[in-house]
Amino acid sequence: MFNIVIVGVGGQGTLLASKILGQLAMNNGYDVRVSEVHGMSQRGGSVVTYVRISNDKPLYSSIVEQGQADVVLAFENLEAVRAIPYVKEGGTMIINTQEILPMPVINGLAKYPADCLERTRKACKTVEINAVEIAHECGTYKASNVVLLGVLAKTMPFPADEWKKAIEQCVKPRFLEVNLMAFDRGFNY
């Protein structure tokens, strides 16, 4: 059984990441539960997606709760801090080191914490990567989600070819090349 939590800000492409993960697990004969957030919070709010896969224990709940995540994929530094309670003992946080300021900070009502990464490092094992920059180098910053999947791939029991197959099944053909390149960059990070 493997529990993943994907956190970010509405519009960052977290849903595609969970879709690819679900496809990958299904292709490899795993049972899958993916829980998504739609509606109001998509408008620039915090978004959380859960992915659970298993080839041993039966799965029922589609939610990953506190202390249950093997890996958290955080698309943003502040959201990484918010997601710390999800990480289980010995679990890992993969962080796209991007800062997106929330409205209270934009308005000067609150400060964006300067120590997001330090706080996360103290709480759990981290892998930090500037996925936006790498994705930009591959052709579009929008592929940063797939760069992160490349990093995640190293912690999971599926060969790279299987990941690429799942990516091919989930992205539009004209974006495939960029995404495969983004995956490789993450995988070799």
Neighbours of 124 (CB within 10 A): 20
Long-range CB contacts (within 8 A, 24+) of 111-120: 112/78, 113/78, 113/81, 116/77, 116/78, 116/80, 116/81, 117/77, 117/80, 119/81, 119/84, 120/74, 120/77, 120/80, 120/81, 120/84, 120/93, 120/95
86 CA to centre of own chain:
13
Binding track over 60-99 against another protein, x by CB under 8 A: xxxx-xxx----------xx-xx-xx--------------
Contact status: 157 vs another protein (CB under 8 A): no
**Region of 42-50, 88-96, 151-159, 172-180 interacting with another protein (CB under 8 A):** 42-50
Contact status: 23 vs another protein (CB under 8 A): yes
- Residues with Cβ within 8 Å of 81's Cβ and at least 6 positions away in sequence, in order, are 113, 116, 119, 120
Q: Which residue in 14, 33, 147, 151 binds another protein (CB under 8 A)? A: 33
**Region of 105-113, 148-156, 157-165, 181-189 interacting with another protein (CB under 8 A):** 105-113
Contact status: 110 vs another protein (CB under 8 A): yes
Give me the least distance between CB of 50 and another protein, in Å please: 9
Residue with smaller CB distance to another protein, 11 or 157:
11
Length of the chain equals 189
- Residue numbers at the binding site for another protein (CB under 8 A): 9-10, 18-19, 22-23, 26, 31-46, 58, 60-63, 65-67, 78-79, 81-82, 84-85, 101-113, 141
